[in-house]
Amino acid sequence: MPNYSAMDIIGPKMVGPSSSHTAGAARIGHIAYILAAGQIRRVRFHLHGSFARTYRGHGTDRALMAGLLGMQPHDERLKDSLEIARDKGLEFQFLEIQLQDVHPNTVRIEMDLYTGETLSVVGSSVGGGNIKIVEINGMQLEFSGLFPTMITRHVDGPGIVSKITRILAEHQINIAFMSVFRQNRGEEAMMVIETDNRLEESLPQVIRGLVRQVQDVYVINPF
């Protein structure tokens, strides 16, 4: 995983008073938007620590919603995101929660999708607009979103990781960082691959077509 330098923490171009509470929050929301493929019917934002104490005054609520609507941190519409969500018929709640062993600026986003599925994402804003995603659907993992990132959900078994990385090599994609996460041997696993190359949106379909043990593939390219 990347190490953050002093230059990284200076902060991004954004709308709002705080890079941690607005830019970082918007980036967390945007990753949830990508993972949900925009098919969000209802969402609950469970806010921990500093997020819970100051989310209204610092605009964290509007930033999270803006990201969940597909907006970038510098989008001028960010300040109106709650009203835009209501106009779209998106149901939402902001709730306070106490989480264990996480950064003070952390949110758990729980989404009900139009497909009938549910999706949860836990992310932390670590300063300067930088973030860490630390959990997806109860599976603990970690990635920053600073690099083009591919996430797979697959059955844990021999040869699956090598099949996926071989496909990336055939597409001339160089791996910068890679981690595999699982809860039990032979059951569901998730792999996070951060790359040096921007990832094509068609890549998930290619991988699912060639590796039958893969259930889901997500591609996240930085802004």
Residue 15 has what pLDDT?
46
Contact call for residues 74 and 13 (beta carbons, < 8 A): yes
Same CATH fold, 149-220 and 8-143?
A: no
Query: How is the chain split into domains, by residue range?
Result: 8-143, 149-220
Please provide the size of the chain in residues.
223
DSSP letter for 16, please. Answer: S
Q: Which residue in the block uniquely carries the two structure tokens 């330098």?
A: 5
Tell me the pLDDT of the chain (223 aa) as tens digits.
444 433 343 344 444 445 566 899 999 999 999 999 999 999 999 999 999 998 888 899 999 999 999 998 889 999 999 999 999 999 999 999 999 989 999 999 999 999 999 999 999 999 888 999 999 999 999 999 999 999 999 999 999 999 999 999 999 999 999 999 998 999 999 999 999 999 999 999 999 999 999 999 999 998 7
Distance, in Å, from the CA atom of 195 to the CA atom of 214, rounded to the nearest integer, reads 19
Residue 25 has what pLDDT?
94
Which CATH architecture is the domain 149-220 placed in? 2-Layer Sandwich (3.30)
Residue 137 has what pLDDT?
95
| Helix orientation angle between 160-170 and 203-210, rounded to the nearest 10 degrees | 140
Residue 109 has what pLDDT?
98
Instruction: Supply the pTM of this predicted model.
Output: 0.87
Domain 8-143 in this protein, CATH class: alpha beta
Contact call for residues 198 and 148 (beta carbons, < 8 A): yes
Contact call for residues 59 and 21 (beta carbons, < 8 A): yes
